[in-house]
Structure 1
Amino acid sequence: MPKIVDHEARRRHIAEAVHRLIDAKGMDGVSLREVASEAGVSMGMVQHYFATKDEMLLLALQHLNTRISIRVAAAPDQDSPRALLRTGILELLPLDDNRRFEARVGTAFLARSVVLDPLASLLAGLLRTGLPYVLAFYADQIRAAQTAGQIPARLDPLQEATILFAFAQGMVNPALIGHYAPDEVVAAVDYHLDRLFAPV
């Protein structure tokens, strides 16, 4: 009987090896050969799924975003706009080993996306494509809270979503270098949400 191969699982496995290499050596430490070694697979297998390093890096960035989205989708209190909004913010912040790892890798992708070459343009395009989904998710929770009378109706959901995203992103680097401890980051998020979810 022929062996059933889960190609998506193999791509994820390779993408996670890319993440580990970026975290350990930076973006310049990633090559098809290094990734094959890190993933414990043959060079031929990596080349079967990725014709170029750029293609592999794009998939790794997509997989990083997917990891975070899956956690948000699996969060409890899906019927609570505030709880879901809070989770959507906190999952982007380096509050534990896993999220610090993701933040370091994400920061490396961001830094690589602003130089002037074709790969940077591809990475920047993918980052731009993902941002509207995050903003729409935040805005949807704000609208739901407005409908429930938890957030003032006069506030613009998309503008508030933009402010929340900018606020969260502004906490990433200071938290990564230890300027803010995790409990201080969480307290700042809750303080901001307390102001947003003001009594109507």
Structure 2
Amino acid sequence: MPKQVDHESRRRQIAEAVCRLADEHGLEGVTLRDVAARADVSMGAVQRCFRTKEEMLVFALGHIGARISARVAARLTESPAQSARTALGHATTEISLLRPGHRAEARVWLVFVAQAAVSPSLAEILRTNYADLHGLFTRLITEATTTSDAEREARTLLALTDGLTTHVLIGHLTPDTALDALDSHLARLWSDPAT
């Protein structure tokens, strides 16, 4: 009897291999042969899961986005009685990917962001992820402040978290300096009655 394969589990296994290769070599280093070797599957298995390299990359980007979103959601549900301010602080620190344990994930995310500038299918995944995060930030800012433009504040905060990630990865800022900038921005948001 042939071995039963969990198709979704295999796709996630391949996506993890894509992410590890992207972290090491960028997306130009992601070949079908290398992905198969890294995932410890045959090239045929990769081709049965994904018809094209683009399809494989789209799935991998969705996979990493879902992993980040799940971590944010878990952080927010750890303490359901927390204030909207605390929740927003937790969400921004998770999304900024500044912790040492998230450095590889941040590098992979930025590799995909760069590729999305020339790949409409990857750009669509990122637009959806950012729209979801913008919605979360808008809701938390609305609950935590008296701002008249929570959507604008959410856009600013989302851009800040992304930018800080980039600055830490290239060594322009230390993680502590970046977190200080993020904390400072949130403190101004809480204290400014004109927001």
Cα distance in 1 for partners of 2:137, 2:176 equals 22
- Over the aligned positions, Cα root-mean-square deviation in angstroms equals 1.9
Shift of 1:140: 0.8
Residue 130 of structure 1: aligned partner: 129
1:51 deviates by 0.9
- Contact kept in structure 2, 1:92 and 1:103, CA below 8 Å: no
- Write the mapping of 1:63-142 to structure 2, written as runs, cut at 5 A: 63-75=63-75, 76-79=78-81, 80-115=83-118, 120-142=119-141
Which of the numbers 163, 169, 183 marks the counterpart of 2:162? 169
Q: For 1:116-146, what per-residue CA distance to the aligned partner results, in whole angstroms no more than 9, with x for missing partners?
A: xxxx11111221122211100001111222x
User: How far did 1:49 drift?
Assistant: 0.7
State how many pairs are aligned. 190
Aligned equivalents of 1:71, 1:170: Cα separation in 2: 20
Aligned CA distance change for structure 1 residues 126 and 160 (closer, same or farther; 3 Å)? same
Determine if contact 2:98/2:165 at 8 Å carries over to the other structure: no
Q: Which moved more, 1:124-133 or 1:4-13?
A: 4-13
Q: 1:99, CA displacement in angstroms?
A: 1.6
**CA distance in 2: counterparts of 1:71 and 1:60, whole angstroms:** 17
Q: Which residue in the other structure is 1:26 paired with? A: 26
Which residue is 2:172 aligned to? 179
Give the 3 Å change call, closer, same or farther, for CA 126–72 of structure 1 in structure 2.
same
Structure 1 residues 34-49: aligned runs within 5 Å: 34-49=34-49
Alpha-carbon deviation of 1:93? 2.2
Aligned residue number for residue 148 of structure 1: none
> Hey, what's the Cα distance between the residues in 2 that align with 1:74 and 1:83?
14
Partner amino acid, structure 1, of 2:86: A
Residues in 1 aligned to 2:154 and 2:178: alpha-carbon distance in whole angstroms:
18
Query: 2:124, 2:67 → 1: CA distance?
Result: 19
Tell me how far apart the structure 1 counterparts of residues 101 and 147 of structure 2 sit (CA, whole Å).
38
Task: Say if 1:89 and 1:168, in contact at 8 Å, map to a contact too.
Answer: yes
Deviates more, 1:49-58 or 1:2-11: 2-11
Query: What is the percentage of aligned positions where both structures have the same residue?
Result: 45
Q: What is the rounded CA distance, in whole Å, between the counterparts of 2:147 and 2:22 in structure 1? A: 44
Letter in 2 for 1:82: R
Q: Is the 8 A contact 2:72 2:95 kept in 1?
A: no
Q: Counterpart in 1 of 2:50?
A: 50
Given the superposition, is the C-alpha separation of residues 108 and 88 from structure 1 closer, same or farther in structure 2, using an over 3 Å criterion? same
Q: Distance in 2 between matches of 1:82 and 1:4?
A: 48
Deviation per residue, 1:58-78 (Å, 9 max, x gap): 000001101101111111334
Instruction: Note if contact 1:72-1:84 (Cα within 8 Å) is conserved in structure 2.
Output: no
Higher mean C-alpha displacement, 165-174 vs 4-13: 4-13
